[in-house]
Chains A and B, each alone.
Chain A
Amino acid sequence: NAGVTQTPKFQVLKTGQSMTLQCAQDMNHEYMSWYRQDPGMGLRLIHYSVGAGITDQGEVPNGYNVSRSTTEDFPLRLLSAAPSQTSVYFCASSYRYLSSGANVLTFGAGSRLTVL
């Protein structure tokens, strides 16, 4: 059982380049989300999805696109990378009812992105 798998783990881009961060989960979780982590700012929600075909914006969505064509995959796209997008990105997934207490948000290992 792999859990949440993110690729790549490290990436260096030049300003203006595009790329996709991949996220896959094998737990049949309905909810998936992307966060970015910057020093002293904890994790901030970028985009999230409550099911296949449904996506919505989080706190900091500008500069990022997402899609959810399958339950398992939730890629994050940077169309034109900027230095402000240098960060560590985490993908997470959970079953629908996060408030049950028995259900928790499961995180991937993270993707460290540097934009020059």
Chain B
Amino acid sequence: SQELEQSPQSLIVQEGKNLTINCTSSKTLYGLYWYKQKYGEGLIFLMMLQKGGEEKSHEKITAKLDEKKQQSSLHITASQPSHAGIYLCGALNNNAGNMLTFGGGTRLMVKP
């Protein structure tokens, strides 16, 4: 089965700093989703990547899917306290009706 490993597991940054979260898959990725979760809440969809080399941005968050399609990165520029939360990557699981398999998550704290 496909496994997703996220790094780092947790991250504390000073407001205004840039940061990167990585998601590495044990198999080729055919659809990679990034979600954000605030404490005590559900998951909010950020971006979805399908093609190798694809890059998408939303406000100060950029996600990329590498050419070999086994790794994705999420980059936040000039972090703000509102970026704090848990970031999860998810990949389509062809063995489970195209549901998503998730990585372990990265907990981000942004110090004002």
Which residues in A have some Cβ–Cβ distance to B below 8 Å?
4, 31, 33, 35, 40-45, 48, 50, 56, 58-59, 90, 92, 98-99, 101, 104-110
Contact = CB atoms under 8 A, between A and B. Distances in A.
A56 B97 contact: yes
B43 A90 contact: yes
Given A40-B104, A42-B88, A108-B42, A98 B98 contact: yes
Interface in B38-70: 40-43, 45, 48, 50
Contacts of A50: 97
Given A31-B99, A40-B105, A45-B101, A105 B45 contact: yes
- Measured as residues with beta carbon below 8 angstroms from the partner, the interface class of chain B is 20 to 34
A45 B93 contact: yes
B55 to A, nearest CB: 14
30 contacts: A35-B102, A40-B9, A42-B4, A42-B6, A42-B105, A45-B96, A45-B99, A45-B101, A50-B97, A58-B96, A58-B99, A59-B96, A59-B101, A90-B42, A90-B43, A92-B43, A98-B98, A99-B30, A99-B50, A99-B92, A99-B98, A101-B50, A104-B33, A104-B45, A105-B33, A105-B45, A105-B90, A107-B35, A107-B42, A110-B41
Interface in B81-100: 88, 90, 92-93, 96-100
Contacts, number: 74
Contacts of A33: 99
Contacts of A92: 43
